[in-house]
Amino acid sequence: MNESSGMTGTSESVSYELALTAEEAGRGTQKLLARNNKRLQVNIPAGVTAGSVVKLTNALELTDGRRGDILIQIRIKGEGPLSTGDVTPGVIEINDGSFESEVLQAGLPVVVDFWAPWCGPCRMMAPVMEKAEEQYRGKVKFCKLNVDENPGMAGQYQAMSIPMLLFFKNGRVVEKIVGAVPESQLRTKLDSMM
């Protein structure tokens, strides 16, 4: 999700863009929104279309401790303003429920960062992942999965030590890195996947 800020009436609002598949938009879905080390479960109703806005009234009170709404503008993957096709800019926060569609069914190679907010080395990896996402946008998809909130996938992929980066190609794990690594080592792994 991409973030922007603005004012609505007397309170501030924060806007995010959320890319959904056409199937998710048609049937409705649930997504996790990460903000200020807090997680909000967002219920996207069935039948949303590109440009629809889902308003989370007073949600900033939960995440920021101040008045304001979170506005989520819907984009349908393959449509809309982004020139990278089905690639949403930024590292995508995924969960047990979205893992299959975001990772296993992705048309691009995918890097999944298994992490937790309390993990210092995980926080060190965040800017490395963000920079790599900018450099490889349109070539590799970057996701992160909070192991505390998603025990299903964490258990399935045996994320015993974090951060753990899994590299997927055509829905299968092809590489694995455990522990924080420098940007150069991550680039080397990414280049080997191309």
DSSP annotation of 181: -
Collapsing DSSP states into helix, strand and coil, what is residue 191? helix
Q: Which residues contact 100 (CB under 8 A, 6 or more apart)?
A: none
User: Is 119 a known active-site residue?
Assistant: yes
Q: Which residues contact 174 (CB under 8 A, 6 or more apart)?
A: 109, 167, 168, 193
Question: What is the C-alpha separation between 174 and 145, in angstroms, rounded?
Answer: 18
- 119, 124, 126, 193: the catalytic one is 119
**Residue 53, strand partner residues:** 73
154 burial (CB, 10 Å; 0-12 / 13-18 / 19+) is buried
> What is the edge-to-edge ordering of all strands in the sheet holding 53-56?
2-8, 11-20, 68-76, 53-56
User: Is 122 a known active-site residue?
Assistant: yes
- 72, 94, 122, 166: the catalytic one is 122
| Positions marked catalytic | 119, 122
